[in-house]
Structure 1
């Protein structure tokens, strides 16, 4: 078959498909220096196919170069790729031809076989014009080098990530957790978390007694016969605080300790209530420090948590924590010589829960339901009214016992809590002006409570009620037992409504009452019968930390003989939580 020439008339459909795929691959696969491997593979495939068909026969040069021209025109080949493949084709088909198309014996034989050497000369000039290299091998070498480089970079990044993770888990490094407003600052030192939180407040309060008659055990500033106005710069129901919590987990047990320091801003004076006694506005004074919280906890979410130490008791705890006057002043108590705190709604809606040494247990939360119970340091029966009005006791062979059950729920936009609690303590060896200790008179105090807090969108409401026998009023066991040793009944309640006008502005109104009834056959006309107050306040949230507060409060105390004492107070100040 001498002189036979194989002519490629068209690009087969398979090659056209390869061309399309190559175009997509070329667009997505790039090598260093801007080279693209897809088109080179396409052209190399075409070249291999032609060589396979032709065998030892020679393809017509102009048809092959026309094909390369078409691929170049369609954008399937770059300038360098086009020149590289054209030069390789020339070397494979007529390696001895020079760019002038002749001059050698093989060139002459090629002309004799019907292959025009001028085509190769033109091809050579065309290849040189594109500055192509004599082989496509560098393209694949670059691809290999790029892959190796990418793999090395990936290994390096992975090693760096592992090193960073190991550094983060290094127990010698102290990290700061993401700050959450109101949750304090948390530092993580290995498996130990240290949280610092607290608050500071201060108010200017102007108090004006409307009337002042003697009411023994009353909470109005006029209850002692005072009729004079007073101004003060003072703390509200809360003093300041710095609280340190340290927590960790060991052997599957969550452990924690808490130290809560609560200093006031006014001068302290010695008294029955220690740092919470009335103040002493005299030069060279010092503020009082109330170290309320010192306790440890141990447990987990599966088995519940034990608490050992000094902390807020269970009975009455929700009542005070949901009281809006916790962040304001409420009933001032002593305003002319302010102590560590005001009264808020203590004694005018609930009995103060107090901070009491305890061993208590809180169960796991089960579908919003939780129970708590504990034994507490027994407290003395206290004659708050004075003048021998109530019996006292300082002997205790058994602890105080308290318990509480709470249920938290959510129903759409409605959220709420319902709780109930109890308290019991036996008072031994009661004494008074008419009762000798040797008489061995005792009394068992019992009390119960129930309350709820509901919130719906911008509205919030709280309702609370308590009743006790021997419980007393204002503080635990204040005037709970008459001078003859008989228990007095008491009860009280408060209702509170709040509405968030905006995300920053909140309005609050509340009303509360505490009643103390005389014991059977008792006749003590000056003893307090009723303490009540109305409070209206607005809270403006300036930042996540800072709130401004404005408040008006009216407090009234009345005795069993009809004596009344009233006062009105206006307060303005700021509270900062961190």
Structure 2
């Protein structure tokens, strides 16, 4: 298993509700521990964007603009704190993490005046109870649907796509990785989730989650249900991870009831420095970017997407090829196709410092065609 794979699996485990993965221990008395972890990434980016001047006239010509930025990449910068103790045969844990953007210096000017408006985004704040029978997580954490799709992305520590269609070129937050171009984002949400212990490589997670509303006056008779079945194992020099996840929810208001559901899955194989990653999803009544957190008022909206990636690692170097695609249909008519092709180079300086060079070509067809080329050069620091 190469250094990058170990790093990604460690980060994945940390983000996926493992509360003891931090690199710096703040307190340890033999029974209880407190630790912290941190990620900072900064990229210089240059994008060249072309869009049709008139969405209704394919012959209207292109409007073009170039934009240079200093910004964060796919993952926001964050600091996390982990707590663990043993009490009466139970392992009690907790995690809180606070995520921030760097790009807040020019998005709130005008009537509000100068200055920064750093928003602290609390994406994780939960407790865990572990025993021989498995784990219960209570609190706020990432959802289960599309969770592994995003955490196995080879570009997780990179930059990803930035299109004008989603307002990302000038956006004051993160780039999008492959969100909207291969998978949806599993927004953090209040939940009660049970995970089985490791069963010869298999693990099942089932979550009851706070539902999303289709309108301010909608009613939700039942919570949102999400689940995932995963299999992880190492066969000599071959590493394997496979998973299947799903979501289901209903929301009803005066306009009617919307039943939303989705199914996702994927597989990742590691062998002899090579890694192959493939994932996909299909959904109804969900958003193409943010799942149920992107309100869809009609179950006639259907989305499907896939992500294909390959990488090769040797020494301190890792090279990645990636292609992701998402299509949205409303009442049987395709209304959006969004894809992103990327090439990335990661150079591991040491356990805490990684250099990144990346190129993304994003194409959008939603009646107003867009092509966007982005070059990103960055530094990632982890503790």
Is this a same-fold pair by TM over 0.5?
A: yes
Query: 1 CA distance for matches of 2:109 and 2:380?
Result: 23
Decide whether the 8 Å contact of 1:453 with 1:463 is kept in 2: yes
Q: Deviations over 1:353-375 (max 9, x none)?
A: 11111000000111001100011
Higher strand share: 2
Change (3 A) 1:360 1:215: farther
Assess if the C-alpha contact under 8 Å between 1:381 and 1:479 holds in 2: no
What corresponds to 1:227 in structure 2? 64
* Aligned counterparts of 2:63 and 2:203: Cα–Cα separation in 1: 46
Offset from partner CA, 1:269-303 (integer Å, 9 cap, x none): 9xxxxxxxxx4477412322111110000022x11
Q: Aligned pair in 2 of structure 1 residues 545, 493: CA closer, same or farther (>3 Å)? A: same
Distance in 2 (alpha carbons) for counterparts of 1:519 and 1:480: 17
What RMSD over aligned residues (CA atoms) do the two structures have, in Å?
2.3
Q: Gaps spanning 5+ residues in structure 2: where?
A: 1-20, 57-61
Partner Cα separation in structure 1 for residue 116 and residue 353 of structure 2: 28
Q: Which residue of 1 aligns with 2:137?
A: 307
Query: What 5-or-longer segments of structure 1 have no aligned partner?
Result: 1-181, 217-224, 270-278, 383-391, 430-436
Local SS of the residue matching 2:115: coil
Given candidates 174, 179, 197, the residue that maps to 1:364 is 197
**Matched residue of 2:102: which SS?**
strand
Q: Deviations over 1:468-489 (max 9, x none)?
A: 111231111377746xx45211
1:546 pairs with 2:358: no
Q: 2 CA distance for matches of 1:310 and 1:328?
A: 25
1:417-441: CA deviation from partner (whole Å, max 9, x where unpaired):
1100110000211xxxxxxx3x4x0
The aligned counterpart of 2:186 is 353
Q: Does the alignment pair 1:575 with 2:373? A: no
Partner residue in 1 for 2:95: 258
Q: 2:274 aligns with which of 452, 459, 474?
A: 459
Kindly tell me: are residues 398 and 343 of structure 1, through their superposed partners in 2, closer, same or farther at Cα, counting changes over 3 Å? same
CA distance in 2, matches of 1:254, 1:329: 37
Q: Which has the larger radius of gyration?
A: 1
What does residue 11 of structure 2 align with?
none
Deviations 1:184-234 (A, max 9, x none): 112303411111111101001111103345779xxxxxxxx8632111111
SS of the residue corresponding to residue 350 of structure 2 reads: coil
Structure 1 partner of 2:148: 318
1:416 aligns with 2:261: no
Shift of 1:377: 1.1
Q: Deviations over 1:492-526 (max 9, x none)?
A: 000111101x2201000100001101215x7xxxx
Counting helix residues as a fraction of each chain, which structure ranks higher? 1
Q: 1:495 aligns with which of 299, 302, 308?
A: 308
Q: Which has the higher contact order (CA 8 A, sep 6+)?
A: 2
Partner in structure 1 of residue 339 of structure 2 = 532
Task: Return the alpha-carbon distance in structure 2 between the equivalents of residues 212 and 373 of structure 1.
Answer: 45
Contact 2:145 2:246 in 1 (8 A): yes
Instruction: Number of aligned residue pairs: give it.
Output: 351
The partner residue of 1:515 within 310, 321, 327 is 327
Per the normalisation by structure 2, the TM-score is 0.86
Question: Is the aligned partner of 1:327 residue 2:160?
Answer: no
* Residues 222-301 of structure 1 aligned to structure 2 (within 5 Å): 227-267=64-104, 279-280=107-108, 283-300=114-131
Q: Alpha carbons of 1:286 and 1:407: their partners in 2 closer, same or farther (altered >3 Å)?
A: same
> Which of 368, 376, 379 lines up with 2:209 in the alignment?
376
TM-score, structure 1 normalization: 0.58
Aligned to 2:370: 565
